[in-house]
A and B are shown apart, each in its own frame.
Chain A
Amino acid sequence: MNEMNLSPLWLSFKTAIIATMIVFIIAVFLARVLSRRSFPGKSVIEAVFLLPLVLPPTVVGFGLLFLFGKKGPIGKILIKWFDIQVVFSWYAVIIAAIVVAFPLMYQSASAAFQKYDANLEYAAYTMGASKWRVFWTISFPLAWPGLLAGLVLTFARALGEFGATLMLAGYIPNVTDTIPLAIYFAVESGNMEMATFWVIIIVSLGFSAILWLNWWSKRHMLQHAHKRKT
């Protein structure tokens, strides 16, 4: 265990945190814009958003490879304009995590924004509040429990991403070796000790996340009940 390289831990965390922040902002924005609107084509758009949830990660990875590859429509532009090559880089790890985790956040946020009475927002508007103010003082706090649940799931999913990451980012020690990849390649090379170490780490992380979420939502519900009583 002496020569244990801890870079996967750091890399996984860094990736999951950045991906979660990006997913949170995009998914909350889209969910708020789309959740109470109905227009032709909405279900098609939402189906596209949720697609990574039902597709095998290898298919998502294949799609990303097509888009971000040297000759892919996005990859070409990134190389030409910014000199950034995504495939087999740390960016690829983040992009893969964003795409696979996005549906979880979008679904949670969409449900959270539909859960409260729409008249609460209208009431705020009739009192002269701007859209921005209504969002931060009414919509966001009322949707927060659902958003937080989504946030934890998104983080856990981003942390555990394997298939799409392997396809797009490959396994490059110290660059793209997240914990799930480190486990796979440790087993491949017969290093069961290292694999076990990482398995224990990731199981404890996932377990604590779920435990915390359950504890938090129970406490939140209790507080709510308490407010009702007192």
Chain B
Amino acid sequence: MLDINIYKKLSHFDLHVQLKTKQERVVLFGPSGSGKTTVLNCIAGILHPDEGHIRLKEQTFFDSEQKRNKPTPIQNRNLGYLFQDYALFPHMTVKQNIAYGMKDSEIVKDLIEVVGIEHLLQEYPSNISGGEKQRVALVRALATRPNALLLDEPFSALDEKTRRDCQDELLRIHDMWNIPILIVTHNLEEARKLGHRILRINQGKIVH
């Protein structure tokens, strides 16, 4: 169960997002600069809200009511985060990237097969295409056995066909894993395809 209630003052508007989800795929849909990535960064612990709470399963990552408890550090939240630019480590091979936070090598082996990147394991990120990078980053994020997955515009840099393939893979992986997935996108078609639920966000507020 992911339960968030985030309030944060940003330079142009105030961000206020509430959300509860069990194991659904929730899409945050909205134009660029509407605060979607900030929501993911708050959940991941890269930024902190001014007020509100963030809970996942039995863990409380942040709660402004309990001032004495510091926010949970990023490394203790156990979330998979796929950054918009993938953030693959440029000085490590694909294999080293995936192994960085790996908890279960058997599952990772399966994942590598499912997304079809066996032939890339010895390559450096700078030598592989955008679609391949996205797959590597997805496997890397899942290799830590996260309790939730955050995807920031995961398919925006891909061509139509690769995008559809990757979307299908994501759906397949979600069927296997059953964890809450938060997907940020500004593509309506993608939002409809991937989301059990679509939250439209504009100027930091959820629009109904």
Please give, as numbers and ranges, the residues of chain B lying within 8 Å of A227 by CB-CB distance: 124, 126-127
By secondary structure, the A interface counts as helix
Spot the interface stretch: B9-17, B87-95, B199-207: B87-95
How far in angstroms is the closest Cβ of chain B from A50? 29
Interface range on chain B: under 10, 10 to 19, 20 to 34, or 35 or more? 20 to 34
A128 to B80, CA, bound (A): 10
Name the contact of B89 in the complex, choosing from A120, A128, A228 (C-beta under 8 A).
A120
| A119 and B85 form a contact (CB under 8 A) | yes
| B101 and A129 form a contact (CB under 8 A) | yes
How far in angstroms is the closest Cβ of chain B from A100? 33
A117 on interface, CB distance cutoff 8 Å: yes
Interface residues of B in 130-183 (CB under 8 A from A): 140-141, 143-144
The answer to whether residues A125 and B89 also contact, given A119-B83, A227-B126 and a CB cut-off of 8 A, is no
**What's the count of A-B pairs with C-beta under 8 Å?**
65
Chain A residue at minimal CB-CB distance from B140: A127
Please give, as numbers and ranges, the residues of chain A lying within 8 Å of B143 by CB-CB distance: 127
The answer to whether residues A228 and B87 also contact, given A125-B74, A127-B101, A128-B101 and a CB cut-off of 8 A, is no
Chain A residue at minimal CB-CB distance from B123: A230
For A, the interface residue count at a CB cutoff of 8 angstroms equals 21
Q: Mark A109-124, 1 if CB is under 8 A from B, else 0.
A: 0000000010110111
Name the contact of A119 in the complex, choosing from B76, B79, B87 (C-beta under 8 A).
B87
| A123 and B87 form a contact (CB under 8 A) | yes
A190 to B173, CA, bound (A): 82
| A126 and B74 form a contact (CB under 8 A) | yes
B66 on interface, CB distance cutoff 8 Å: no
Name the contact of A128 in the complex, choosing from B46, B124, B144 (C-beta under 8 A).
B144
Please give, as numbers and ranges, the residues of chain A lying within 8 Å of B44 by CB-CB distance: 122, 126
Binding site for B on A (CB under 8 A): 117, 119-120, 122-131, 137-138, 141-142, 227-230
Task: Name 5 interchain pairs, CB-CB below 8 A, sorted by A.
Answer: A126-B81, A128-B75, A131-B75, A138-B89, A227-B124
